[in-house]
């Protein structure tokens, strides 16, 4: 028997909030400043961690926005949708770990850069794939609001499909320049910030 979706959304919000907090703790650190090095120089030395933080915060923030917009239309849940949502959160929770690895190895060997970039894209690609599967299952099992326009449901599905493709494109650039690859993730987040099918309206009519 299907159940109300509010508890699932509340649980997901809590997990994403914890992920963002842990990410800040992991990446926004500055150890003891070595003698002979000023604070500005020490902060500048940690630029890979700060870059990874900004990009990863943007990605996880975009995940939260997309999750929130998607679950506005889900009125009931079943066991499979719960499992798919948990698997989505599994990959979201792994993103801070992969971001920390990426920050630590951004100035390492080419092999290390590519390996950590692959782990990073694996985490963000995993959550994007399970977004797609969750929406597909909710549509298939009629767990969405009965008044939802089928054309809008298809448009949302097409927009979700864009995510995995764009993440793979960004990953391909790691073979050109790891920093450029990271910056492309920010550009892709910007694409999703443009209001699209299924998003909240820009303002509420009075």
Q: Per residue in 177-187, pLDDT tens? A: 777 777 777 77
In this prediction, residue 79 has a pLDDT band, given cuts at 50, 70 and 90, of: very high
pTM (predicted TM-score) = 0.83
- Tens digit of pLDDT for each residue in 10-64? 999 999 999 888 888 777 776 566 666 667 776 677 777 787 788 888 888 888 9
What one-character-per-residue DSSP string does the chain give? --B-SHHHHHHHHHHHHHHHHHHHHHHS---PPPTT--HHHHHHHTHHHHHHHHHHHHHHHHHHHHHHHHHTSB--B-HHHHHHHHHHHHHHHHHHHHHHHHHHHTTS-HHHHHHHHHHHHHHHHHHHHHHHHHHHHHHHTT-B-TTS-HHHHHHHHHHHHHHHHHHHHHHHGGGT-HHHHHHHHHHHHHHHHS--TTPPPSS---
Residue 92 has pLDDT above 70, yes or no: yes
């Amino acid at each position: 028997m299907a159940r109300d979706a509010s508890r699932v959304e509340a649980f997901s919000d809590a997990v994403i909030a914890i992920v963002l907090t842990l990410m800040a703790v992991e990446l926004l650190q500055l150890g003891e400043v070595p003698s002979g090095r000023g604070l500005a120089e020490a902060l500048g030395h940690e630029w890979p961690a700060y870059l990874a933080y900004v990009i990863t915060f943007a990605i996880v923030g975009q995940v939260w926005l997309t999750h929130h917009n998607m679950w506005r239309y889900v009125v009931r849940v079943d066991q499979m949708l719960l499992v798919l949502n948990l698997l989505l959160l599994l990959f979201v929770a792994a993103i801070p770990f992969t971001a920390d690895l990426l920050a630590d190895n951004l100035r390492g060997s080419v092999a290390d850069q590519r390996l950590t970039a692959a782990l990073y894209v694996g985490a963000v690609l995993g959550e994007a794939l399970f977004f797609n599967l969750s929406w597909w299952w909710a549509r298939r099992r009629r767990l969405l609001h009965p008044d939802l326009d089928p054309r809008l449901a298809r448009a949302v599905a097409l927009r979700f499909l864009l995510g995995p493709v764009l993440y793979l494109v960004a990953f391909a650039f790691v073979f050109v320049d790891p920093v450029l690859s990271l910056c492309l993730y920010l550009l892709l987040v910007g694409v999703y910030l443009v209001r699209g099918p299924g998003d909240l309206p820009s303002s509420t009519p009075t």
